[in-house]
Amino acid sequence: MGNDDRSERLITRFGHKDNIDERAQSLRGDEKAFNAVLDEFTTRIQYELHNWFILEFNN
């Protein structure tokens, strides 16, 4: 899988950078909502890393 494919997959999964920035701006001053989004994003990253390790080290 090339870097372009990986970038496209991440954009599809997490949203385009502009959308992420817009979402972050909308949460400014709302600590509870910000923490919920941060938790969701962290969980997604952990899931992706877990899958990557499985694919990388089981081959």
Q: Break the chain into its structural domains and give their ranges.
A: 3-57
> What is the per-residue pLDDT for 12?
59
| pTM (two decimals) | 0.48
Q: Which residue has the higher pLDDT, 46 or 7?
A: 46
Query: What average pLDDT does this structure show over 10-19?
Result: 59
Q: In sequence order, which residues have a C-beta less than 8 Å from that of residue 37 and are 6 or more positions away?
A: 23, 24, 27
Give the pLDDT band of residue 18 (cuts 50, 70, 90): low
Chain segment 42-59, per-residue pLDDT in tens: 888 898 889 888 888 886
